[in-house]
Amino acid sequence: MLQVTDQSYGFMQIQFLVNSWITYCELKHRKTPLLDFIVPLAEALMASGKLNPQYQRHRGTGRPSKTSLSVGDHLPVTTKTQRRCGKCEQQKKESRTKIMCTMCNVPLCTDCFKPFHS
């Protein structure tokens, strides 16, 4: 029996994406850059996966913040100036970064971005 691992599943997803891009280019009779094809697709997928607070089950622990409900909106963007990393600053470390979270508006170095949001 063929075993599907996380790595092979990721490879298959990339294959599906590239094959879709090739088919799209052939149907439209124009060469669209792969990145221009992927970005709107990824944004649409993230938008479709957002939680709708209206239909969320209520729990007794209090309401989650608006920033935690919009998981797909927490994207790293590069800024022009360097600022101190928000997570490193809490841990009394000196670290400067040009990366900001679009939703939280907090500067975070690449190593701290994921732990900060989990």
Please write the tens of the pLDDT for every residue from 4-28.
777 788 888 899 999 999 999 999 9
Q: What are phi and psi of 52, to 5 degrees?
A: -100, 110
pLDDT at position 26: 94
User: What's this model's pTM, rounded to 2 decimal places?
Assistant: 0.41
Average pLDDT, the chain: 80
pLDDT at position 17: 92
Q: Residues 5, 42, 98, 66: is their CA dihedral positive or negative?
A: negative
Tens of pLDDT, residues 51-75 = 665 555 555 556 655 555 555 667 7
How far is CA 23 from each of CA 29, 31, 32, 60, rounded to the nearest angstrom? 10, 11, 11, 49
Mean pLDDT for the stretch of residues 92-110: 87
pLDDT at position 11: 86
Q: Give the residue among 56, 52, 20, 57 at the shortest CA–CA distance from 38.
A: 20
Distance between CA atoms of 10 and 114, rounded to whole angstroms?
A: 19
